[in-house]
Amino acid sequence: MVRYRRNFVPGGSYFFTATLDDRRSSVLVDHADKLRTAFRVTRAERPFTIDAIVILPDHLHVIMTLPEDDSDFSGRLRRIKGLFTHQLAASGASISRNHRGEFALWQRRFWEHTIRNESDFERCADYIHYNPVKHGLVASPIDWPYSSLHRYVRAGLLPADWGGAGQIDGRFGERGD
């Protein structure tokens, strides 16, 4: 069996996919405010930049860049997932527990890819922004409210009609299509 090793690069940029345990759930968009708070608190505690993000009903994709002297992306994702889960539980939402009594909202692991260069960054950001269309949630990427595409359009980096046609290739850690 091949042993998986994560690539820890201080100051690196990483593409992540984090997925709920129940792929039929819509809890991430139903409680997007709590997820934003979890990101905000984590960024205040352990800085990082969100370069691109999309929140879908049952998973999220994000490109995160860490400070120059830091490579602990796992700790940040663990903190975001934990804060979101505890906020959700505190609000009275029903969250199942595993055999050890731990909350079982998220899949235990996450998928990560180290961004290698500008073209890799652009490919991953495009994938993130096109993902709601890929999953049949909207006809055009700009129609999805939980996406950094809106920030890219405001900054003039992409036109509002970006992704209206065409296909972004790659699976990026998602199960079956």
What DSSP letter does each residue of 72-119 carry, written as one string? -HHHHHHHHHHHHHHHHHHTT----B-TTS-B-SB-S--EEEE--SHH
106 belongs to a structural domain: yes
63, pLDDT greater than 80: yes
**Residue numbers of the domain that contains 57:** 13-116
47 belongs to a structural domain: yes
Domain count across the chain: 1
> To the nearest whole percent, how much of the chain has pLDDT over 90?
71
Contact 42, 79 (CB under 8 A): yes
Each residue's pLDDT tens digit, 64-85: 999 999 989 999 999 999 999 9
Q: What integer pLDDT is reported at residue 13 of this predicted model?
A: 95
Q: What integer pLDDT is reported at residue 10 of this predicted model?
A: 74
87 belongs to a structural domain: yes
Q: Say whether 146 is catalytic.
A: yes
What global pTM score does this model have? 0.86
169 belongs to a structural domain: no
Catalytic residue among 14, 127, 130, 146: 146
Comparing 9-18, 31-40, 166-175, which segment has the lowest mean pLDDT?
A: 166-175
Q: What CATH number should be reported for the domain holding residue 108?
A: 3.30.70.1290
58 belongs to a structural domain: yes
Nearest to 21 by CA among 110, 108, 107, 111: 107
142 belongs to a structural domain: no
